[in-house]
Amino acid sequence: MAEHERASAMLAVSTVIFALRSDELTGGRAQVWLPLVRRIRAPFEGCWALPGGPLRVDEDLAYAAARTLADTTGLAPRYLEQLYTFGDAVRSPGDERVVSIVYWALVGSAEAEAATAGENVGWFSADDLPELAFDHKLIVEYALWRLRTKMEYSRIAHAFLGERFTLAQLREVHEAVLGRPLDPANFRRTIESSGAVVATGDYLTGTRHRPPRLYRYNDSIDLADAGPLPRQQPPFGLRQNRSTAEHRPTPESEQS
């Protein structure tokens, strides 16, 4: 519209990155974790904050979010969706005005556990966050709400898993995100009747009980309904996953 009108605010893109961890720390139970970066400049110097940075010219918003994610974790997102744009005039006290377009992303558990926790990057449990800079605490809570809400009516859980998985693993993802146990029998029926997964015919052996079926996702069904918005595939182009292993490197083995 205008020829060279001065911009009214700085434009930044931040990303809330979710992964699942089942460390010894978490007592074997899977939990939602997320990476934060330590600020090395004022304001909020030394505080933890969401990964992000200024939007570059000629860079799509989703691409900027994925780049941020890659810089922080060395990973590519399995799922990426815009969350909200925060742009109140007085977000940062006394500082230049910044409008933040925030995305949220899911990364695979296998990759996440092998991911580098580079300099000034720390992983935290979503239930036990440190003090966060700016309004990032609110943003993370909103992202968590969206994750939990969307998990109930959508099919984003598989973003945490490998190509093949058991229903118990899928259920574990749901339980970790929702924070409550689910009935295995009803969960099975719900998932199977939704058509979201198909049995591969193979079984996972090496457990000390009956071998569970291995499933894979039904590609013909969309991950999540974003309404009439064009399906934005996460921009995988910029960096490939470090670990190409699609599922946990455990002593477990597969056979038909």
Calculate the CA 225 to chain-centre distance: 17
Give the 3-state secondary structure of residue 35. strand
**Single residue of 85, 116, 149, 190 touching DNA by CB under 7 A:** 190
205 binds DNA (CB under 7 A): yes
Check binding of 184 to DNA (CB under 7 A): yes
Tokens of 82: 């815009």
Residues 113 and 26: beta-carbon distance below 8 Å: no
The interface partner of residue 180, options being DNA, a copy of itself, none and the CB cut-off 5 to 8 Å by kind, is none
* Stretch binding DNA (CB under 7 A), from 29-37, 76-84, 112-120, 200-208: 200-208
How many CA atoms within 13 Å lie on the side-chain side of 34? 27
* Choices 79-87, 113-121, 177-185, 247-255 (CB under 8 A): range interacting with a copy of itself: 79-87
At 53, phi and psi to the nearest 5?
180, 175
Residue number with CB closer to DNA (88 or 225): 225
Residues 90, 75: Cα–Cα separation, whole Å: 33
Which has the closest alpha carbon to 34: 158, 125, 150? 125
Q: Which is nearer to DNA, 201 or 230 (CB)?
A: 201
The Cα 20–Cα 123 span in angstroms is 11
Site string for a copy of itself, 17-56 (x = CB under 8 A): ------------------------x-----------xxxx
Tokens of 148: 């939990």
* 35 in Cβ contact with 52 (< 8 Å): no
In this structure, are strands 98-106 and 10-21 parallel, antiparallel, or unpaired? parallel
Point out which residues pair with 125 in neighbouring strands.
Answer: 33
- Which CB, 9 or 198, lies closer to a copy of itself? 9
Least Cβ distance, residue 88 to a copy of itself (angstroms): 5
11, 53, 212, 224: which one contacts DNA (CB under 7 A)? 212
**Which residue type is seen at 187?**
F
Residues 6+ apart with CB under 8 A from 191: 167, 170, 197
Rounded least distance, CB 204 to DNA, Å: 8
Scanning 67-75, 83-91, 123-131, 199-207 for contacts with DNA by CB under 7 A, the matching segment is 199-207
By beta-carbon proximity to DNA, the closer residue of 53 and 211 is 211
Judged by the rule CB under 7 A, the positions of this chain that interact with DNA are: 166-168, 183-186, 188-190, 203, 205-213
Judged by the rule CB under 8 A, the positions of this chain that interact with a copy of itself are: 1-2, 5-12, 41, 53-61, 82, 84-85, 87-89, 97-99, 101, 138, 141-142, 145-146, 149, 227-230
